[in-house]
């Protein structure tokens, strides 16, 4: 009789352990789902500091905001580059905005984020690395970046060899992109 009672106790203990493990797994799945949902919300709802506006609704205010976004991008990505390097970064940004594969708004292109394996990735690394309160450390470099932004955005200045450029990276790294390289300007390599 004691053996039967012990078997029942062991069976009940095993059942309780399985129920506990199942509950723990269920809690982990719910927690993961909540984390992913929160991350999606953070990216989708709070994606940029700038409102995304379609390029066909360009007002003076919108153009001023686009100039500011483009100048910041040039400053962070190519501030120490020669003039051509700054133009190339600006041109990639504008090429993306007209490609149909990225947001149509210049600021939308710059602040676009994606989630890959629960990690937020930015199209331009400085967007994820920098705080939203922007103050240039090197004012002369920022002023030159703004000048380039005006020439590219307002005057239509372009480098002929970069008409199809959509991507770039610093030449001191090799991300092994399966893309066609089209130029090496300053410290960046550009791709279709």
* 1 vs 7: CA distance, rounded Å: 10
Q: What is residue 45's predicted lDDT score, i.e. its pLDDT?
A: 44
DSSP structure string for 98-147: TTSSS-SSHHHHHT-EEEETTEEEESSHHHHHS-SS---SSHHHHHHHHH
Return the residue matching tokens 């380039």.
148
pLDDT digit string, tens, across residues 68-81: 999 999 999 999 99
Q: What is residue 25's predicted lDDT score, i.e. its pLDDT?
A: 75
Q: What is residue 160's predicted lDDT score, i.e. its pLDDT?
A: 94
Lookup: tokens for 29: 């799945």
What letter would DSSP give residue 184?
E
Residue 17 phi/psi, 5° resolution? -65, -45
Query: Where residue 50 falls among pLDDT bands split at 50, 70, 90?
Result: very low
């Amino acid at each position: 009789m004691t053996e039967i009672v012990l078997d029942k106790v062991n069976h009940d203990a095993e059942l309780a352990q399985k129920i506990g493990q199942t509950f723990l797994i269920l809690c982990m799945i719910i927690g993961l789902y909540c984390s992913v949902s929160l991350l999606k919300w953070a990216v989708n709802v709070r994606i940029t500091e700038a409102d995304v506006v379609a390029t066909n609704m360009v007002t003076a205010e919108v153009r001023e905001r686009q100039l500011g976004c483009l100048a910041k991008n040039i400053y962070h990505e190519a501030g120490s580059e020669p003039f051509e390097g700054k133009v190339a970064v600006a041109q990639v940004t504008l090429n993306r905005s007209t490609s149909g594969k990225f947001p149509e708004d210049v600021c939308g292109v710059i602040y676009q984020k994606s989630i890959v394996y629960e990690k937020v990735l930015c199209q331009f690394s400085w967007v994820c690395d920098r705080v939203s309160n922007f103050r240039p450390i090197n004012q002369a470099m920022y002023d030159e970046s703004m000048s380039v932004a005006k020439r590219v955005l307002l005057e239509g200045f372009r480098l002929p060899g970069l008409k199809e450029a959509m991507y770039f990276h610093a030449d001191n790294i090799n991300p092994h992109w399966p893309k066609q390289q089209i130029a090496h300007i300053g410290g960046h390599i550009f791709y279709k």
